[in-house]
Amino acid sequence: MKSVTSQAIPTAAAAARVASTAALIATLVWIGLRNYLFFHALVEGFSVVVAVVTYVLASCTYRYAKDDLLLFIGQAHVVIAVLDFLHLLSYQGMGVLVCSCANTATQLWIAGRYLWGLTFLLLPLFIRRRLPRPAITAALIGLAALMAWAVFAGDVFPVCFTQENGLTPFKLASEAAIIAITATGALLLGCRRAEIDPGLYRALIFAAAATIASELCFTLYDNVYGLMNMAGHILKIVAYNSLFQGVVLKGLRAPLDSIFAELRASAVRDSLTGLYNRHGFQQAAIKEMNTASQTGGSIGALLADLDKFKRVNDTFGHQAGDEVLKTFAAILGGSVKPSDTVARLGGDEFAVLLPGAGLDEARAVAASIRDATRSWARSSSTASTLDVSIGVALWLPPMQADIDTLMREADRAMYDEKASK
């Protein structure tokens, strides 16, 4: 019953998404048939809003997400949004710009789609790679400005639509080129899909497919208020909605995941050395003890204290003392296996947990730490007076002792060694 219910939940959610999408498309078609200019303003306005939100989120969350791919998508789309907005204002019947007509709006459409295709073609370059984003974004801005100038001021942008003949050969050839560029970008993206977040990859590929279908529709109309023109704009909404789902929402989730990961890490990690803190050490010890109880293994525990550490702080200052602690933490980490646990309990007191180690192995690790510490002290002017005292204790599953009892035993052994010096 549980598995049937768990399978029904995603199925119901998918059905709800399909139903809501169908309702949205039906509503858009109804609006388009009643008032095409209002329909067109809704579609282009949605794409502009998605582009701007994508840019804002990608820029603001880059500190946490560290995703150059998302950032480039946001920067490129806000440039494209400028051309889309001009396309909206210049659409035939809007009357906002002096040059509002079918040809001007179509020219701006082609300019924006060329930039969109170029952006998609460049996406694979930003996968796990640092590129000069400012230079590339500046080039896109320059290209958009040049196209806008060619349409409005230079009067050199080729004619795309005439009232007599409809779409011109340049418009049809441009749509074919945009489709080819977008398809090539999708293929290149597919070659590196293993390096991309699966959700983001699906969103980008779906957006590319919807864009290709949209551009095909824009090769078949002869009236800027016609059904094929409407179909092309609806497919554009589908493409931008995919970007919204895969880019904007991912851009929100990724930094939040990163923030919570940092918070979780700060709760169990020492900020100076990066080792576990006391709380993290206790959690790791409880986990290892539970495992050892099931497998019958032993756990070795070391408690280490730097002798005469206070003298370092008094002589060289606390910054030098911090560097000494970080170096000793590195020595501890280099003396044990990756599966062992190393922690800074506070001050100059450190602990090591050795799952599966017997008493002889734990003593051998302690001896290795002493040798490495003394070798470092001899070669360091700051740490030259330092030594280390290490207490060793062993825990076996039959024992009823908890981690605090184990560490008290190691603490007594450490102070016995310190007293013997």
Calculate helix-pair angle for 198-217, 249-268, nearest 10 degrees.
170
- Which of the following is catalytic: 84, 348, 387, 416? 348
Alpha-carbon distance of 14 to 10, in angstroms, equals 6
Rg of the chain on CA atoms, in Å: 33
Order of strands, sheet of 341-346, starting from the edge strand that comes earlier in the sequence? 341-346, 349-355, 299-307, 387-395
**Tokens of residue 152, six digits:** 């409005």
Q: Give the pairing type, strands 299-307 and 387-395.
A: antiparallel
Question: Cβ contacts of residue 242 below 8 Å, gap of 6+?
Answer: 203, 204, 206, 207, 210
Coil, strand or helix: which one is 346? strand
Task: Please say if 411 is a catalytic residue.
Answer: no
Which of 232, 101, 229, 236 shows the shortest CA–CA distance to 160? 101
Using the Cα atoms of residue 127, residue 132, residue 133 and residue 136 in order, give the sign of their dihedral.
negative
Count of CB atoms situated within 10 Å of the CB of 9: 9
Coil, strand or helix: which one is 300? strand
Q: What is the dihedral of CA 308, 310, 314, 315, to 10 degrees?
A: 30
Identity of residue 339: S
**Tokens of residue 323, six digits:** 């560097």
In this structure, are residues 106 and 160 in contact, taking their beta carbons and an 8 Å threshold? yes
Q: Which residues are catalytic?
A: 348
